[in-house]
Chain A
């Protein structure tokens, strides 16, 4: 038992609802008679709008509104959406070109919204979209992930949106020059789509003179704030809600043009308006993930200790700055730049490049998977080049247990860690000792077997503060949370957590989320923050509530002690439960004790870490990779619900393996999307994935009262490098050196052929 709870593997209470079709998602609960919105979108990737004629569309059956940028402005809207810029290494700010929610004058990616059309039915709206005529004077496109080329924005003539630096450039250069060994690697981190099962959707209606927007998001407050600012409404006139959400992954944390168009249409028409992306529309317009290339270099001394690390990254921003587009591969990447290693000298440069593609932004892990992928790829490569065991190279360079708290070059303070212990456990659990025999057995069947390790660390991000309100009812309780479940199981975990604190059975606790009227502020879901920050706040407020009830019961004497189920008081055999105590308080005119609210801030970040071990078999004739074994040992600190934590790891690994094995957003040279449906965009399926051996080696965090570390993104952070390292292990002796993901059969076969050609040429 942990100090703060029982850590039980409770199954998810929301699953019965989700699995039997009783989940209620945004589109399920659109108001009766809602009008349908559809969008006229840019047909080409770059050009000036010569004309946009909506007259014919306005005359189509059922059409009630057709609105382009000028119409939205005439209606009083501000078009420029918000975003955060990063700092350049010279101290200036990143470029801030306008991102209008309806294109003004120029289009910069295929699918950019030009106009919204609202009609009585969706079919009528789509018919009207076809009736709209748009002429674009095309400009040359910039598709290369490189500075220069045709400029997208006057604010960034060389297409460089930011030029971020962290660390000591000169010292790193000097250390590399002085190093006994230098290893370099180019690490491609492919562009992918999150493809949530539920596509993006929203609807808007008027509640009296108030605007209510319902959407599938990761927190209601950011959208509320931007609706207020762009539509010029008073804060008291806007309500945002979020019902069940079918997957967010960072993609749904951000605001999108459609939400403002739909809200503005409802305001203007005084009627409800709904929109839901179809799959193709989602693939065209959802923020993409990753899409960067890093040149990385490690310097070692003669004893193979790392003396310097250098990273030079080019990251694709897409056509505009999305909400956090500039932060992901700069600031967030840098949080775990040096991973779990004792690296005192490092320099990281990251440049964001505008291209004529959809924006990129956070995708499960948001910068940390990218940083760990680069580092763990080059650690493995270094071991091969130096001719040493990759596990031993890591052990040699780990931050020692005695060195914590450890301040990194990125100015993060790792509180605790036992990397060597976790790695030992993973070595045993993965059956590494039997690998040589398994490899021989594979070879006898003409297959190439490889084993790959990745040791990741991630940093819990997102807002460190969270609020909570606890309401004690006659038969149970209600907890209002500032996070937002996207399907992770928050209802179960938050109820379970409060049950552990109050003794009220979890099935009598209702979790309330996703309504800006009922919850004034919150941080939403993202950055692996939810359970830790919400738990932290709930722990504090529940303890305050219990203390207040204890004081009330004692009536001025020594406060009644709470044993987790009942209050115990001196001099009486009475032992009321929390709800019984609350009932007495109500009778005594102390109803205030039945509703308690508060906020807590995490004193510092926590750092989940662990070892992923992948074992693959490659068919050299076809290039096909099968993942034969997969083992994870994580240090998540204390866990509220180990079952749900393991589920998060499974899903995270599926997304990590999906990225490096199959997934790829592809465009042609003109910027048209080639991977525009599931016929061409390969998602991982259950049958592609191995059974996952999962274990934990907890070292409770000292950075919060719960000893927790968070786990939502950890699976993805660790999986990518483990898999690619396993493939490199399998193919190294065949001379394969370029393993840019996704490692599809066709690419692996080609790499094998080129390696063979190279060898023949050498002979």
Chain B
């Protein structure tokens, strides 16, 4: 690890100010950033911790939806949404291991937009909105590609809002080493349509499988997925743990299983 300054502001305004320093970086749970820094793969001048900002923490009802503070840990989300949104609770409860869930946060996860992270699929399928220190961004516009988001320099994810569907399920097939999703699918059925969001598979990061959404909006059944061809494997990640074709195949299998489990 290289030397760095460390700041732990108490308000969003102070955090925004602290992040104006050249090469400063926001630190939410640090579950990606810390290993990266320990391997000397990142050299921030200043690390700005968001964990002491009370206004960024907690889970509450927000009209028909749920507001989750950006600095809320996975463990808290898992616990607090158990009744209000069981599928999201289950997603949070299956991220990493207890240590990761005690530190990692939803804001950090969506801001990082790891192509194999769980939350981007849950938020995208749940018609999520990303709240920042300066605006609100619909999830559809927020996730722009592998590790890329609509966030501007120094912009902080202060909260995430999701709509609670009629029913939903997150089907995750893990990569054996990292236990991140090799491919995972979050399906959410709303009164006016179905959303299917896929993580772990695509070179472009989290995406909506619109063919499946159309099919399921017309016929909410696992059989409806059976009739579809898997998405094109050539756009999928190929690595030690699986080819693009395998991931494309898993997209279909996991979608079917998610629907069947609803």
B1 — which chain A residues lie within 8 A by C-beta? 123
Does B13 sit at the interface, judged by CB under 8 A? no
Does A489 sit at the interface, judged by CB under 8 A? no
Pull 19 A–B residue pairs with CB atoms less than 8 Å apart, ordered by A.
A123-B2, A123-B3, A126-B40, A130-B40, A280-B39, A621-B253, A622-B173, A622-B253, A624-B173, A662-B177, A664-B240, A674-B240, A675-B240, A679-B178, A680-B240, A683-B177, A746-B242, A746-B246, A750-B246
Closest A residue, CB atoms, query B116:
A679
Closest A residue, CB atoms, query B243:
A746
Does B216 sit at the interface, judged by CB under 8 A? no
Nearest-Cβ distance from residue B225 to partner chain A, whole angstroms:
12
Does B250 sit at the interface, judged by CB under 8 A? yes
Q: Using a Cβ cutoff of 8 Å, how many contacts connect chains A and B? A: 46
The complex places the Cα of A678 from the Cα of B249 at a distance, in Å, of: 25
| A residues neighboring B (CB under 8 Å) | 123, 126, 130, 280, 621-622, 624, 662, 664, 666, 674-675, 678-683, 744-746, 749-750
Nearest-Cβ distance from residue B242 to partner chain A, whole angstroms:
4
Verify B178–A680 contact, CB threshold 8 A.
Answer: yes
The complex places the Cα of A60 from the Cα of B180 at a distance, in Å, of: 40
- Indicate whether A681 sits within 8 Å of B177 (C-beta atoms), given known contacts A664-B240, A674-B240: yes
The complex places the Cα of A123 from the Cα of B242 at a distance, in Å, of: 37
B246 — which chain A residues lie within 8 A by C-beta? 746, 749-750
Contact bitstring B126-154, A, C-beta under 8 A = 1, else 0: 00000000000000000000000000000
Closest B residue, CB atoms, query A750:
B246
B249 — which chain A residues lie within 8 A by C-beta? 749
Does B20 sit at the interface, judged by CB under 8 A? no
Nearest-Cβ distance from residue A121 to partner chain B, whole angstroms:
11
B40 — which chain A residues lie within 8 A by C-beta? 126, 130
Nearest-Cβ distance from residue B50 to partner chain A, whole angstroms:
24
- Indicate whether A666 sits within 8 Å of B178 (C-beta atoms), given known contacts A126-B40, A746-B246: no
Closest A residue, CB atoms, query B256:
A621
Verify A682–B177 contact, CB threshold 8 A.
Answer: yes
Size class of the B contact interface (CB-based, 8 Å): 10 to 19
- Indicate whether A622 sits within 8 Å of B250 (C-beta atoms), given known contacts A123-B1, A746-B241, A746-B243: yes
- Specify which of A126, A130, A666, A678 is in contact with B240 (CB 8 Å cutoff): A666
B240 — which chain A residues lie within 8 A by C-beta? 664, 666, 674-675, 680
Does B227 sit at the interface, judged by CB under 8 A? no
User: Chain B interface secondary structure, helix, strand, loop or mixed?
Assistant: loop
Nearest 4 pairs between A and B by C-beta?
A682-B177, A746-B242, A682-B176, A679-B178
Verify B177–A679 contact, CB threshold 8 A.
Answer: yes
Nearest-Cβ distance from residue B152 to partner chain A, whole angstroms:
29
Nearest-Cβ distance from residue B223 to partner chain A, whole angstroms:
15
The complex places the Cα of A471 from the Cα of B240 at a distance, in Å, of: 55
The complex places the Cα of A680 from the Cα of B39 at a distance, in Å, of: 15
Verify A678–B176 contact, CB threshold 8 A.
Answer: no
Which residues of B (231-252) have their CB < 8 Å from a CB of A? Answer: 240-243, 246, 249-250
A678 — which chain B residues lie within 8 A by C-beta? 177-178
Which residues of B (70-100) have their CB < 8 Å from a CB of A? Answer: none
A746 — which chain B residues lie within 8 A by C-beta? 182, 241-243, 246
Verify A662–B176 contact, CB threshold 8 A.
Answer: yes
A664 — which chain B residues lie within 8 A by C-beta? 240
The complex places the Cα of A675 from the Cα of B175 at a distance, in Å, of: 13
The complex places the Cα of A280 from the Cα of B242 at a distance, in Å, of: 23
B250 — which chain A residues lie within 8 A by C-beta? 622
The complex places the Cα of A682 from the Cα of B174 at a distance, in Å, of: 11
Verify B176–A744 contact, CB threshold 8 A.
Answer: yes
Nearest-Cβ distance from residue A371 to partner chain B, whole angstroms:
27
Closest A residue, CB atoms, query B254:
A622
Q: A662-B177, A678-B177, A680-B178 are in contact. List 18 more A-B contacts (CB 8 A).
A: A123-B1, A123-B2, A130-B40, A280-B39, A622-B173, A662-B176, A675-B177, A675-B240, A679-B177, A680-B177, A744-B241, A745-B176, A745-B242, A746-B241, A746-B242, A746-B243, A749-B246, A750-B246
The complex places the Cα of A749 from the Cα of B2 at a distance, in Å, of: 43
The complex places the Cα of A680 from the Cα of B242 at a distance, in Å, of: 12
The complex places the Cα of A745 from the Cα of B182 at a distance, in Å, of: 10
Name which of A681, A744, A750 has the most chain B CB atoms within 10 A of its CB. Answer: A744
A744 — which chain B residues lie within 8 A by C-beta? 176, 241
A674 — which chain B residues lie within 8 A by C-beta? 240
The complex places the Cα of A622 from the Cα of B40 at a distance, in Å, of: 36
Contact bitstring B162-189, A, C-beta under 8 A = 1, else 0: 0000000000010011101010000000
Name which of B2, B173, B240 has the most chain A CB atoms within 10 A of its CB. Answer: B240
The complex places the Cα of A744 from the Cα of B1 at a distance, in Å, of: 34
B182 — which chain A residues lie within 8 A by C-beta? 745-746
The complex places the Cα of A259 from the Cα of B157 at a distance, in Å, of: 48
Closest B residue, CB atoms, query A122:
B1
The complex places the Cα of A682 from the Cα of B180 at a distance, in Å, of: 12
B178 — which chain A residues lie within 8 A by C-beta? 678-680
Which residues of B (105-136) have their CB < 8 Å from a CB of A? Answer: none
B242 — which chain A residues lie within 8 A by C-beta? 745-746
